Amino acid sequence: MMFLPTVFAAFLAAAQAVPLFDTDTNFIKFPVVSTNLAGGYSSTLARSMSSSVPATNENKVYVVTPTIGNQIVQLILDTGSSNLWVNATGKYVTTTTSHATGRSFAIQYGSGRASGYQYIDEVRIGNLKVARQSLGVANFTLGFRGVDGYPSLIFGVGPTSLSSGVVQGGDIVPTVLDNLCASKAISANVLGVYFKPLSRANTNQNNGEISLGGADHSKYKGVLKYAPITRSSHYKEFWGIDINKVSNSGMVIGRNLHAIVDTGTTLTYLPDAVYYKFANANNGSRDSSSGLLAFGTKPKGILSITIGGRDFTLTPDQYLIPRFLYHYFELDGDTRYFAWLAAIGYGADIEFILGQKFLEHYYSVYDATSKRVGLAASA
């Protein structure tokens, strides 16, 4: 998890031959309420198990609202980390369901960190319940000021191995999905995520959804393209996949790359070489204040990311920041066009991230059962 520099403090999550079966049955789905970013809610549920709870998007991040003990908390949905933790200075207080483990936890993100003590508590999402979920209660946090008004923090749903070493003793901590799957509350350890761009400068749009146990066919078009978790170092610890190539309006600007797919990151982060080729081809440059890619005139280049032989494209209207959000990010709307694109910098272990703004156009599936990530155009 990492904040961007300056006022544009967006989240970057960083802590990190598939079986053929259809994962769209017996899933539970939850609407996502958006505050300056996100999806839509369908009343169509898969057969049998069905449940819904609200979640809120804080413009830079999406949050879900599980109940811990007897308190509803707002937590950032983060596929780039795997620990659930809350802030002790927020709404969470211990109840009769809370049990201190006597262990501490400490977690480091890209430009933020948290530490405190580990508890066991009951966690409910809609009609689903984990009776004994391990979670952190932080008494120290640094670098989370970009989460507007929500001090109860991270709902990590990345690969479980990312939790190794976070809790004193080094044990791996099962995620909420791990525990739901183990208890047979869901049939597969699969998370489906539906985001959608804001249609106006409004911080309370009900326009997103997560589904637990499988993908929701009503939220995407065509067939999901699944990619196995990459074998590439660093990327393989996350929901990391191989990228065949990246193109600018048909011209290849990068080949044989790797990326992580991360709901906890706001922007699309391109490898530096790819970023500068795309910028130069479209007369763009890095804005020194925000770190974003900016253009003097509206660009025409189409960014295409090829995964498993399928192109996932972003048109200028999709990768440019809507002008109705310029004021929110303190951007100069008179002379420049700003994009949801940036570069982390040479030498970073992870330099290619498909974040929230990419995922607002593509439904994503995180399949821990089959160790793969699925993508399809959002409905």
Are residue 231 and residue 324 in the same domain, yes or no?
yes
What pLDDT is attached to residue 147? 55
The number of domains in the chain is: 2
Residues 185 and 89 both lie in one domain: yes
Residue ending a domain, choose from 217, 244, 260: 217
Looking at per-residue pLDDT, the higher value among 271 and 35 belongs to 271
Q: Sort strands 75-78 and 362-367 into parallel, antiparallel or unpaired.
A: unpaired
Residue 299 is given by DSSP the state -
C-alpha dist (Å) from residue 70 to 29, 55, 65, 86: 21, 17, 12, 14
**Worst-scoring range by mean pLDDT, 38-42, 268-272, 302-306, 373-377?**
38-42
The distance of Cα 125 from the centroid of its chain, to the nearest Å, equals 18
Question: Active site residue: 78, 121, 178, 367, which one?
Answer: 78
Alpha helices (H) in the chain, listed in sequence order: 176-182, 272-281, 316-319, 356-359
pLDDT on residue 14 = 35
User: Is there a single domain that holds both residue 131 and residue 92?
Assistant: yes
pLDDT at 347: 85
Same-domain status, 200 and 261: no
Nearest to 50 by CA among 126, 105, 118: 126
Looking at the fold, whether 336 and 301 belong to one and the same domain comes out as: yes
The active-site residue out of 24, 121, 216, 262 is 262
Q: Are 269 and 87 in contact (CB under 8 A)?
A: no
261 and 121 in a common domain: no
Q: Residue 51 pLDDT more than 50? A: no
- Residue 216 bears catalytic tag: no
- In this structure, the answer to whether residues 162 and 293 fall within a common structural domain is no
- Count of CB atoms within 10 A of residue 8's CB? 23
Residue-range definition of the domain harbouring residue 253: 219-377
Tell me the pTM.
Answer: 0.88
**What pLDDT, on a 0 to 100 scale, did the predictor assign at position 33?**
40
pLDDT grade for 193, boundaries at 50, 70 and 90: very high
Residue 2 CA to residue 5 CA, distance in Å, equals: 9
CA distance 255 to 140: 42
Short-list 214, 182, 208, 264, CA closest to 53: 208
CATH number at residue 311: 2.40.70.10
Domain boundary among 217, 239, 274: 217
Regarding whether 211 and 294 lie in a shared domain, the answer is no
Q: Are residues 118 and 130 in the same domain?
A: yes
Question: pLDDT tens digits, residue range 217-259?
Answer: 989 999 999 999 999 999 999 999 999 999 999 999 999 999 9
Single-letter amino acid, residue 97: T
Could you tell me if 202 and 226 lie in one domain? Answer: no
DSSP 8-state symbol, 287: -
Write the DSSP symbol of residue 326: T
- Shared domain for 14 and 57, answered yes or no, is yes
Cβ contacts of 231 within 8 Å, gap of 6 or more = none
Return the pLDDT at 148: 46
**Residues 306-334: tens digit of each pLDDT:** 999 999 999 999 999 999 889 888 898 78
Tens of pLDDT, residue by residue over 20-50, are 222 233 456 555 543 332 222 222 223 334 3
Round to the nearest angstrom and report the end-to-end CA distance of the chain. Answer: 28
Average pLDDT over residues 355-360: 94
For residues 283 and 255, state if they share a domain. yes
Question: In the predicted model, is pLDDT for residue 182 greater than 90?
Answer: yes
Query: Which residues are CB-neighbours of 348 under 8 A, at least 6 positions away?
Result: none
Provide DSSP, 55-100.
Answer: EEEESSSEEE--EETTEE--EEEETT---EEEETTTT----TT-EE
Mean pLDDT of 274-280: 98
Q: Which of 189, 217, 245 represents a domain boundary (last residue)?
A: 217
Count of C-beta atoms within a 10 Å radius of residue 361: 18
Annotated catalytic, 262?
A: yes
What is the mean pLDDT of the segment spanning 78-98?
Answer: 88
CA gap 225, 266 in Å, rounded: 22
* Alpha-carbon distance values, 167 to 124, 152, 164 (Å): 22, 18, 7
Q: pLDDT at residue 130 above 70?
A: yes
Using pLDDT thresholds of 50, 70 and 90, give the confidence band for residue 205: low
